[in-house]
Amino acid sequence: MDDDVARLINDIGPRLRALRRTRGLTLEALSAETGISVSALSRLEAGRRRPTLDLLLPLAKAHHVALDQLVAAPATGDPRVHLKPRRNRKGSVVVALTRYPGPVQVFKQVLGPSEPQLVTHAGYEWLYVLAGELRLILGEQELTLRPGEVAEFETNIPHWFGPAGEQAVEILHLFGPQGEKAQVRARPRSA
């Protein structure tokens, strides 16, 4: 085994420990989630057990990261995300901006007019209006957001969003697991 491969393998354990701690999980909780014994997880994180696919696949799923993110495999080929717009019957377009099923998914959406249908689900959403006006129904509240405005909310609250009128609205849409919030590092624009 060459030095680069050995280094990649040796870095997996500390990366797994950091992911688990970032999520605030104990070894026991991760064991219950993955079906991997506490002792195997402990040895894996300490570098005393060789990482195998049958261990790494359930861990990648539990941590909501792609397998190559656990391994930190060297980049191969083109690093650009090749955008593949998906259209639906109502005239809306969704473009995934993230390649991997990690903890936070990012989409660019162009939403056409539609009737509100409130939904709830586990997770957290962050919406940024690029163009047009966005109508957001969040529980009993109804808001209109304009370009440059942001909304973020827990998705266990009944919600719906779409164009405020008959014109399409273009947004960036971030969706993540419950408890994950987008970190915004910008000052609000002046009134």
Do 42 and 11 have their domain in common?
Answer: yes
Please report whether residue 78 resides in a domain: no
Whether the per-residue pLDDT at 184 is higher than 50: the answer is no
Q: What is the CATH number of the domain that holds 168?
A: 2.60.120.10
In a domain, 114, yes or no: yes
Model confidence over 126-140: pLDDT tens digits?
999 999 999 999 999
CATH code for the domain of 60: 1.10.260.40
Would you say the C-alpha torsion 152, 156, 157, 158 has a positive or negative sign?
positive
Tell me the pLDDT band of 26, cut-offs 50, 70 and 90: very high
What does the pLDDT average to over 88-102?
A: 71
Domain end residue (candidates: 22, 45, 71): 71
**Mean pLDDT (whole number) for 94-115:** 79
> Which distant-in-sequence residues (6+ apart) come within 8 Å of 167 by Cβ?
132, 133
pTM: 0.54
pLDDT at 28 over 90: yes
**What residues make up the domain containing 52?**
3-71
Q: Please check whether residue 166 lies inside any domain of the structure.
A: yes
Same domain, 92 and 156: yes
Number of folded domains that form the chain:
2
Name the percent of the chain lying above pLDDT 70.
82
Indicate whether 60 and 99 sit together in one domain.
no
Mean of the pLDDT values across residues 155-162? 93
Residue 182 has pLDDT above 70, yes or no: no
Mean pLDDT, residues 161-189: 73
Examine residue 129 and state whether it is found in any structural domain, yes or no.
yes
16, part of any domain:
yes
137 and 171 share a domain?
Answer: yes
Same domain for 93 and 137? yes
Q: Are residues 100 and 170 in the same domain?
A: yes
Q: Which of 18, 37, 71 is the last residue of a domain?
A: 71
